[in-house]
Amino acid sequence: MICRVILFLALCCVSVFSQTQYLRYAIIVGQNDGGASVGKLQYAERDARRVADVLKSIGDFPKENVILLTNPDSLDILNSIERTSLLVRNKQEQEKALFMFYYSGHADISSLLLGKTRFSLEKIQKMITAFPAAFKIGVFDACQSGVVTAFKGGTRAEPFYLQNNAALVKGQAIIASASATERAQESSTLKGSVFTFHWINGLNGSADISADNQVTLNEAYQYAYRKTIETSALATGEIQHPVYRFNIAGQGDIVLTNLNKSESGIFLGNDCEGKFLVLSEDFLEVYADFYKEKSRDIFISLNHGKYTIVNARGSDVSTLALTLKRKIITNVKQNMFIANTLTESRIKGHSDSPVNYSKTMPRGYRDLSIGGGAGFVLYPDFDTDNWDRDVFLQITSGYSLFSNVSLYLDAQALLFCKSGQIQAGLDYVKNNGVSDLFIGAGGGLEYAFHQFSDFSDALSGTATVHAGFTTSIGKHANLQVRIPFTAVFKETHDYRLGVDFSIFFRK
């Protein structure tokens, strides 16, 4: 551990030195509104804010040098580029400046679509090329944005490889999230566009293939390329291929983020291996997605807060819930995980219903589960030891409302007393790594057959509380054991204590 700390500090010094060679400037643009001809995007402006936050926090971009434009028109972008260009020239920093232009929004084959205005893709590419900086980066996340890489013969390409040394690299790289003939996808589960989601996760550490606590342009593109293809293929079957064109002089690589600047995060050492997902506590957001071999360490930059880490090694899946504190790096070890299963996508701007890619829920209920079972019930009578008994059959179902709250609906038939009952209620579910423990309450109605001539006399209200557990007994089946206490409200109250067993089949 001491050796790792020394190595960590040494890498910090080296990476800070290499990253601060450039004076960094960025214009980050997000536009949900592409005009009347296309549907509004949900996450383009959020994408832009998240990219700006990453660049300012761990990208060595000074806050005053990062311009964030949300819901801009073409004149806003033009003025921002011209003002930033003039600023660099006035400071005479052209030979040591790095400039990044990022755009998330609508585009067609010729232009960025900005509300009621348009901005020529060819013009924006020329402005990036002419910007007074040693190195220029353009990142475009929009449908058909690959056109911007083709003005000088660029074609679809797999991740590029640069040799890394201490030289100050000059030139430019233009990256597009989709080819000139493809549509970019955004995901309501990922809460962002597919490409930018993976681009940001890569910058936060998932792309750090070299395990040197810094993410380069090369690493970020390789990671985003692979993950965008994977996610789009699994989500819709319509594969989205990021493309690039670059013109670079020198044999270095561009460091985009320095993970040592992160205020908090997780460090996974040599004993951890397999596929890792870092999720929010409620499983609704993904902050990292990577495969780790035992031979390398990895650090993921994360804000302080509560997270769940999912680790898959072959068919074995385990989870770890943890709370990260500000300015503290948390060491994660393999033995901290408890043995125990993100995303829907749509074409950017399309109004089609999102396509479900996958969803992580507690093991007991996966959205909708339906089953049947039987049980035994006692009628407590404390004035005598002769308690009445009965057996019942039931059909039961559960629907997950949230990660730990489920709705249940039961229909029961008591055989000896010849009555039927329907009940509904809510369960609070807590997974202990082996099964789902739950407590719940509900109410309903009971109808007694052949005992009353009047319908209203045969009908009674019921209330119940129960506790139990649900555990998996197969890929699509669960066993549920439940202990209910039920009150039946007649002229005199009737109480029942029981136990039931059910097999659920998950949809």
CATH class of 2-260: alpha beta
Kindly tell me if the per-residue pLDDT of 8 is higher than 90. Answer: no
Q: What is the pLDDT of residue 315?
A: 80
Place of tokens 């054991």: 481
Q: How far apart, in Å, are the Cα atoms of 409 and each of 28, 240, 400?
A: 50, 42, 12
- Provide the token pair at 361: 């829920």
Q: Are 485 and 496 in contact (CB under 8 A)?
A: yes
CATH for the stretch 265-339: 2.60.40.1120
Q: Which residue has the tokens 């789009």?
A: 232
Total-model pTM: 0.60
- Within 10 angstroms of residue 475's Cβ, the number of other Cβ atoms is 6
CA 289 from chain center: how many Å?
A: 9
Determine how β-strand 111-114 pairs with β-strand 214-216: unpaired
Highest mean pLDDT of the ranges 84-98, 136-150, 227-241: 84-98
Identify the weakest region by mean pLDDT among 58-72, 192-206, 349-363, 364-378. 349-363
pLDDT band at 365 (very low <50, low <70, confident <90, very high): very low
Where in the sequence of the chain do the CATH 3.40.50.1460 domains occur?
A: 2-260
pLDDT at residue 159 is higher than 80: no
41-45, 280-284, 343-347: which range is least confident on average?
343-347
CATH level 3 topology of 368-506:
Porin (2.40.160)
Q: Which string of b and e fits 212-227 if b means at least 16 CB within 10 Å?
A: bbbbbbbbbbbbbbbb
Q: Are 423 and 442 in contact (CB under 8 A)?
A: yes
* pLDDT tens readout for residues 453-476: 676 777 889 999 999 998 877 656
The DSSP line for 464-491 is: EEEEEEEEESSSSEEEEEEEEEEEEESS
Q: Locate CATH 2.60.40.1120 in the chain.
A: 265-339
Residues of the chain with CATH 2.40.160.20: 368-506
Element (H, E) at 332: strand 329-332
pLDDT at position 216 over 70? yes
Q: What gap in Å lies between CA 507 and CA 505, rounded to an integer?
A: 7
pLDDT digits (tens, 9 = 90+) for 387-426: 788 899 999 988 877 767 889 999 999 888 888 899 999 9
Output the six-digit token pair for 79: 């003025």
What value does the mean pLDDT take over residues 113-121? 93
Res. 158 pLDDT band, cuts 50 70 90:
very low
Q: Which pLDDT value is given to residue 382?
A: 64
Q: What share of the chain is helix, strand, coil (3-state, %, to 5)?
A: 20, 40, 35
Q: What is the pLDDT of residue 30?
A: 95
DSSP secondary structure code for residue 281 in this structure: T
